Structure 1
Amino acid sequence: MPVDSDAVVREILESRVKTIAVVGCSSTPGNAAHDVPKYLFEQGYDVIPVNPYADEIFGRPVADSLSDVDETIDLVCIFRPSEEVSGIVDEVLARDDVDVIWTQRGIRDDEAAARAERDGRDVVQDRCMRVEHRRLAV
């Protein structure tokens, strides 16, 4: 069952996560897939942009996919359509370092979430990280 407890979301945001890979991170200001990761970066998280169509976001090089990220990742934040979540979860499950998968508002895949949870990962679905951070962790 995806995480729905404010206490667990607060724990994730405040103590379990330092490095966030953002799949679908946008280079376009005003786009939620840009503004939310920028906010997280400004809050002190190490944000790793993942987007095969961009070279640099927030002054950082952009990875084409999760498998191209060499750094340790604590959380994968997904800004891609729901129908792409399953493939992204497959990439997460191929890694040993990701503890949390978070899909942004309007994005969910219950089957992929169940697979991730069976593998010991926490999943937060259909919630905005910026909204939840402002509400619970600030």
Structure 2
Amino acid sequence: MPLTDDDGLRELLSMDPVAVVGCSSTPGKAAHDIPKYLQAHGYEVIPVNPYADEILGHEAYDSLADVESEVELVDVFRPGEEVPGIVNDVVARREDRSDVRAIWLQLGITHDEALARAEDAGLLATQNRCMKVEHGRLMG
């Protein structure tokens, strides 16, 4: 079951660094402004976007597999139909690198089956929640 209680969400929010899959280079888009907010609140944000070279002052990676540094939480800003493939990438990275502990699907993004697969692989997960809103509510 995806985490929905405040204690579970606090645990997710305590994880850092955060790889942001679908991070946008366009100010005004949630996929840009929320990672910028996280960065301003002390998180190490690692942008994952194959169409950008740099976002928020950091190198943007083509895929999660290309990220060389440690990742604890993967924050997803991609459509629900892409979630199963992203979960496959997260699970593969966890098996290979043993670093990813959780996956967060942003507000409006859900995929129950893929999240169940992530949880079966030992990952904590939540969906259809805004990391910025929950951070402000629980950590602010």
TM-score tier, shorter chain, comes to: over 0.9
1:65 — aligned with what? 63
Deviation at 1:11, TM superposition (A): 2.4
TM-score (norm 2): 0.95
- 2:108 aligned to which of 103, 106, 109: 106
Quick one: which of 128, 131, 138 aligns to 1:129? 131
Which aligned pairs between 1:1-138 and structure 2 lie closer than 5 A? 1-14=1-14, 17-95=15-93, 96-138=98-140
Partner Cα separation in structure 1 for residue 86 and residue 12 of structure 2: 20
Q: What is the SS of the residue equivalent to 1:94?
A: helix
What residue identity is the alignment partner of 1:48? I
More moved, 3-12 vs 125-134: 3-12
Percent identical pairs in the alignment equals 60
How far residue 54 of structure 1 moved from its aligned partner, in angstroms, is 0.5
TM superposition shift of 1:12: 2.2
Output the TM-score relative to the length of structure 1: 0.97
Which amino acid is 2:10 matched to? R
CA distance in 1, matches of 2:8, 2:75: 16
CA-CA distance at 1:13 after TM superposition: 1.2
Shift of 1:97: 1.1
Inter-partner Cα distance in structure 1 for 2:64 and 2:13: 21
Unaligned runs of 5+ in 1: none
Amino acid at match of 2:7: A
Q: Which amino acid aligns with 1:52?
A: P
Output the CA distance in 1 between the equivalents of 2:55 and 2:62.
12
Stretches of 4+ moved more than 2 A in 1? none
Deviations 1:57-80 (CA, angstroms, capped at 9, x unpaired): 111110000000011100000000
Counterpart residue type for residue 69 of structure 1: V
CA separation in 2, counterparts of 1:60 and 1:4? 31
Secondary structure at the residue paired with 2:75?
strand
DSSP-derived class of the 1:106 partner: coil
